Structure 1
Amino acid sequence: MTETTVPDLETSVPDHDSTVAEAIGVSKRFGRTTALDRVGLRVTAGRTHALVGRNGAGKSTLVSILTGLAAPDEGEVRFAGRPAPPTADRDAWRSRVACVYQHSTIIPDLTVAENLFINRQGFGGPIVRWRAVRARARELLDTWSVPVAEDTPARELSVEHRQLVEIARSLSYGARFIILDEPTAQLDGAAIRRLFERMRDLQAQGVTFLFISHHLDETYEICSDVTVFRDARHIVTAPVAELGKRELIAAMTGDSTELEQAVPRLPADPHARPVLRVEKLTRPGEFGAVTFDVRPGELVGLAGGGSSGRVEVAETIVGLRRAASGTVHVGERELRGGGVPAARDAGISFVPRDRHDEGLVLTMSVADNATLTVPRRLGRFGLLSRRTRDALARTAIADLDIKVDGPEQGVAELSGGNQQKVVFARALATGPSVLILITPTAGVDVRSKETLRAVVRTAADRGTAVLVVSDELDDLRDCDRVLVMVQGAVTGAYEKGWADGELVAAMEGLT
């Protein structure tokens, strides 16, 4: 494998009015699908530019073109006013642009130093001198203020630190234009604030960012400019300060619909026997003596930061983890081991926190993914009926408004929002009495969030006990009450009508 040299670590600050990157009249088609239709983007040095749009708007395709992983069918890409290099010249691309994706490209079995200089450990020479590699890694980490040790195994890094290592690796090639693709999707509130502080520091050192996120509040907090794509077309580019949230959502959706607020619902029967009872559930080091219940038709939130234990509690209830002590009851039935199948047989269904790693089989079709939990409904004696499978899938496609060519379409071909709807379809296919949703709208666009929230409300109105596990306030707004966890313990309960600041302070342990 060809070794590449490592640029000098000195930084240079570009002129703030200069153009770092441009896409000019770019079009891209995949078969009959137009992914981009003569779109434009201009990113100015020293600023953070947001690229927003619903799933399927064309953002990911543009990122592939801006990073040289795909060539446009029409139009061109320029860096600092000069044409982009040939797509085969990967070193030239790396010196101009890098992308830090939602799903890390760090190799967990290597150390931080090895990840920083992977495939170029010899620094242009034939022999790898590991002491020099570690020293150069330490210099790189210090230059960009990354608070990790160079000899740390990458698997031991937090999501936050993996992202910072990826940014440092990108900067080591000489790139000063970094694309951040959903960087906050797996971070808690404190980690997001630290990421934004690092972005501002790096901006002051001459780094320019293209920021892609479905969280519009983040766009207003960290970005200077915003570009909106819709249906593969460029809609508007403007300074963030000049584009209000109503106008931004209208540009994304094609109408003036604002983010949906909590919808009034009939309260759950306070005298009904709980469907889900969790009593003194404990996993040492993660959470201890957690107790709560959920009644039929009730929406309960379980909120907290990244180290609160909320996700671990949910994954223990659904059988992904084993409790050290405590009990989980569904109705009168106590769950005693058996993992996910036993929980499903008892009436629990769930949406996992990561649809790619835990929620979907990307090599299978929409129909197969949507019906994975109900094989007995598809046929007898081990013979599955494609007609029955497709009928169930079409019902789910209609109920959840999944944008798909048909049940046989590969789930990997769908946008993130539509993939998440397929995960919901699979969870709902069993007709569960308990539905547990873990970070249910991560990486999902505005309109898809509204659809999924409506689906959850409908399930609750039918009598399903719903537990929503999230630190996203919009995920929690429909809940009848929200339980807050801090450092493995439930520290408070908040009835519907809580104020944003009140709940955030509770999740941060400030109350």
Structure 2
Amino acid sequence: MAADEHTVAANGPEPAANGPAAAVHAEGIVKRYGPTVALDGARLTVRPGEAHALVGRNGAGKSTLVSVLTGMARPDAGHVTFGGAPAPGWGDTAAWQRKAACVHQKPMTVPELTVAENLYLGRFQGGHTIRWRALRERARELLAGYGVEVDPATRIKELGVEQRQFVEIARALSFGARLIILDEPTARLDAAGIDRLFGKLRELRDRGVAFLFISHHLQEVHELCDTVTVFRDARHVLTAPVPGLTKDALVAAMTGEEAGPAGRPRTAARPPGEPVLRIQQLADTGHFAPLDLTVRAGEVVGLAGATASGATEIGRTLAGLRAPDGGRITVRGRPVRTGSVPHALAAGIGYVPEDRHREGLVPGRSVAENATLTVAGRLGPRGTVLPSRTRAFARKMIAALDIKATGPGQPVSGLSGGNQQKVVIARALAREPAVLVAVRPTNGVDVKSKDALLGVVREVADGGSGAVIVSDELDDLRICDRVLAVFHGRVTAEFAAGWRDHELVAAMEGVPAGEGAAPGPSGTARDREPKALDTHGTEGTAP
């Protein structure tokens, strides 16, 4: 049965006519941001005492739905009920807090304040003296009521990630909310912390608290959740009980593609040459395990992983933006001083950051100034920058990358998103790097610009350099000669060109590798200690 047929057949139950009303029911939710449809008739039902997973690829609409369910975004159409009653009025923050709360991946607590102060932040009435001893005692009773063993006088910054999450959950429940949304709650926890978190969630679930569990790790969905809902392309496509739902069926719903034989491999422009980048036992505790990787001239290698997989941190470490705990990086046999952006540039590493607005561009400056930031020292004698040379260099880059601009002097802020990204790539290529590292290079650009940007990366490799694309966007990875799946900080599988969407997504989500993937180290999702997978490429195929 095709994925879409499976989807239609298992759209899930409507709220029961008998029994308790749903903790939350959203129906026909539409949300647009300009021409972008973020939700298209989406729906979701979570029942009291249920652990309900919400999964989907990036851009599926999960975050937008969370914004609607917590009163942060007003839907253009549709309705939401809590316990059978209509959702609070738009802008009534206190009423929304009593209905639903979200524990985000990034802590929302104030690090310098104590646990007690964070628990009651925003609830102090003006003109009243705060009795600190009484406040701490109330906080102690509140935490004890939910089984959280934390000293109320401790500053939040002194707590571990797991304890901070427990404090945030207790704060949410203290408002009266019976629906807690957990957004990637295990992303920064080790195995023991995940087990304790799941134990606490099961206790609260037994007391009637409902959870909406958002995760990229499908093994965790099977371990914790009763029901799963899948969104794809802004639409609801599946709701089903987790027991009995295979991981293959779940991945098929997420991708719209059933498991099957690999497609036809892409023919490389020419066989890969000598190594241009070698990584040996590169590691950053808490982010990625010791990694060995070789990228050859003429080769594009993909690092495919979800947001918290560690793949982005690997890319930033290669660019010198992060200092690893250990390991070596060499470019064309030359050692690179880790943790140093200037040394990485000098060694021949070009870098395209994920966020062009925050890390890639100087908005108030011209196209020419932005494109030549990495070669400013070469544009005049004794470190001076000659405007004529800057403009001439920029004109060459504008022509080479087909940047649509009125000229080198146009402010970069006046360009389209795709052309801004080309300027970022121009800056990375200005020094003619031996290897280009690009993190989500097509983030926030239109389809036509995506093709052009990826074509540039492919041309860099075909010209004799190497390239590494770090992304969870499948279209970004299709130009790669091989793709390494990164899950919980370790490379778990490697795919030659011609991989199927289903195979790669399954590996990125932590589902054990199937046919067509080179299996990584043995272990389940509970076996969280990352181990290295040797990934020295030979002739562009999986070893």
TM range (shorter): 0.5 to 0.7
Q: Does residue 1:170 correspond to 2:190, yes or no?
A: no
Q: Once the 2 structures are TM-superposed, how far is the Cα of residue 93 of structure 1 from its aligned partner?
A: 0.7
Matches within 5 A, 1:13-24: 17-24=20-27
Q: Which residue of 2 aligns with 1:130?
A: 132
* Structure 1 residues 149-204: Cα deviation after superposition (integer angstroms, max 9, x where no partner): 33333333333333222212111211110111222333344433332222212211
Distance 1:228 1:508, change over 3 A: closer
Q: Once the 2 structures are TM-superposed, how far is the Cα of residue 76 of structure 1 from its aligned partner?
A: 1.5
Distance 1:467 1:256, change over 3 A: closer
Q: Which residue of 2 aligns with 1:206?
A: 208
Distance 1:79 1:166, change over 3 A: same
Inter-partner Cα distance in structure 1 for 2:213 and 2:142: 23
* Structure 1 residues 200-247: Cα deviation after superposition (integer angstroms, max 9, x where no partner): 122112211112223333222222112222332222322223543333
Alignment match of 1:391 (pick from 402, 410, 432): 402
Matches within 5 A, 1:17-416: 17-121=20-124, 126-253=128-255, 255-258=256-259, 275-276=277-278, 278=280, 294=294, 296=296, 318-320=319-321, 328-336=329-337, 339-348=340-349, 381-383=389-391, 384=394, 387-388=398-399, 391=402, 407=418
Inter-partner Cα distance in structure 2 for 1:472 and 1:380: 46
Unpaired segments of 5 or more residues in structure 1?
1-14, 395-404, 412-417, 461-465, 480-495
Inter-partner Cα distance in structure 2 for 1:324 and 1:498: 26
Inter-partner Cα distance in structure 2 for 1:372 and 1:148: 51
Q: Is the 8 A contact 2:113 2:156 kept in 1?
A: yes
Q: Is the 8 A contact 1:16 1:46 kept in 2?
A: no
* Structure 1 residues 279-338: Cα deviation after superposition (integer angstroms, max 9, x where no partner): 9x999x999xx896746369799x9xx9xx999998666434558998654333233578
| Identical counterparts, % of pairs | 40
Letter in 2 for 1:138: R
Q: Is the 8 A contact 1:148 1:161 kept in 2?
A: yes
Letter in 2 for 1:84: A
Q: Once the 2 structures are TM-superposed, how far is the Cα of residue 407 of structure 1 from its aligned partner?
A: 1.2
Inter-partner Cα distance in structure 2 for 1:18 and 1:92: 19
SS of equivalent residue, structure 1 residue 501 = coil
Inter-partner Cα distance in structure 1 for 2:521 and 2:283: 29
Distance 1:372 1:45, change over 3 A: farther
Q: Once the 2 structures are TM-superposed, how far is the Cα of residue 347 of structure 1 from its aligned partner?
A: 2.8
Inter-partner Cα distance in structure 1 for 2:263 and 2:152: 47
Inter-partner Cα distance in structure 1 for 2:460 and 2:111: 38
Letter in 1 for 2:241: P
Alignment match of 2:440 (pick from 405, 420, 433): 420
Q: Which residue of 1 aligns with 2:488?
A: 471
Q: Once the 2 structures are TM-superposed, how far is the Cα of residue 99 of structure 1 from its aligned partner?
A: 0.9
Q: Once the 2 structures are TM-superposed, how far is the Cα of residue 343 of structure 1 from its aligned partner?
A: 1.0
Inter-partner Cα distance in structure 1 for 2:181 and 2:458: 38
Unpaired segments of 5 or more residues in structure 2?
1-17, 380-386, 406-415, 423-437, 444-449, 497-516, 532-543
Inter-partner Cα distance in structure 2 for 1:83 and 1:435: 52
Letter in 2 for 1:391: D
Count of residue correspondences: 435
Q: Is the 8 A contact 2:283 2:291 kept in 1?
A: no
Q: Which residue of 2 aligns with 1:491?
A: none
Q: Is the 8 A contact 2:460 2:467 kept in 1?
A: no
Inter-partner Cα distance in structure 1 for 2:196 and 2:361: 33
* Structure 1 residues 36-82: Cα deviation after superposition (integer angstroms, max 9, x where no partner): 23322211111111222232222222211111112222221111011
Q: Is the 8 A contact 2:403 2:419 kept in 1?
A: no
* Structure 1 residues 12-43: Cα deviation after superposition (integer angstroms, max 9, x where no partner): xxx98431111122222222333223322211
What is the root-mean-square deviation of aligned Cα atoms in Å?
5.3
TM-score by length of 2: 0.62
TM-score by length of 1: 0.66
Inter-partner Cα distance in structure 2 for 1:277 and 1:232: 39
Q: Is the 8 A contact 1:230 1:252 kept in 2?
A: yes
Letter in 2 for 1:114: E
